[in-house]
């Protein structure tokens, strides 16, 4: 059985450069991929299965009873900026 991963596009202007990337996630794991102006990927963040919560973006419109939603978009934008800064802030 494989888990169907969702994709949520994100973009932000950072220090004069437009950064574009994607959040790749499902309810218990996510990672950020910086796609422009350089390609970098974050490590995955995991939530323990026993925690009654799930990672969400605006794509997840339906609430699940007794499960708390953890919106990851703002954290992912921070990770996108960090990935760019760690690349030296230069275009490839």
> Which of 8-12, 17-21, 45-49, 85-89 comes out lowest in average pLDDT?
85-89
The total of structural domains in the chain comes to 1
Residue (of 70, 81, 86) closest to 11 by Cα position = 81
In a domain, 1, yes or no: no
Q: Which domain holds residue 27?
A: 6-86
Residue 3 pLDDT: 82
* Averaged confidence pLDDT in the chain: 93
C-alpha triplet 39, 25, 74: angle, nearest 5°: 75
Residue 15 belongs to a domain: yes
The pLDDT of 69-86, averaged and rounded, is: 96
Task: Name the pTM for this structure.
Answer: 0.90
Residue 26 lies in a domain: yes
Average pLDDT over residues 67-84: 96
> What are the residues facing 69 on neighbouring strands?
54
Buried-state track 14-34, b at ≥16 Cβ within 10 A, e below 16: eeeeebebbbbbebeebbbbb
């Amino acid at each position: 059985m494989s888990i169907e991963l969702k994709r949520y596009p994100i973009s932000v202007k950072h220090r004069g450069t437009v950064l574009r990337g994607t959040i790749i996630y499902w309810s218990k794991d996510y990672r950020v991929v910086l796609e422009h102006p350089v390609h970098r990927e974050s490590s995955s963040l995991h939530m323990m299965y026993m925690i009654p919560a799930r990672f969400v973006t605006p794509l997840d419109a339906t609430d699940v009873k007794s499960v708390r939603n953890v919106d990851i978009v703002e954290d992912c934008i921070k990770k996108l900026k960090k990935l760019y800064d760690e690349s030296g802030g230069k275009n490839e």
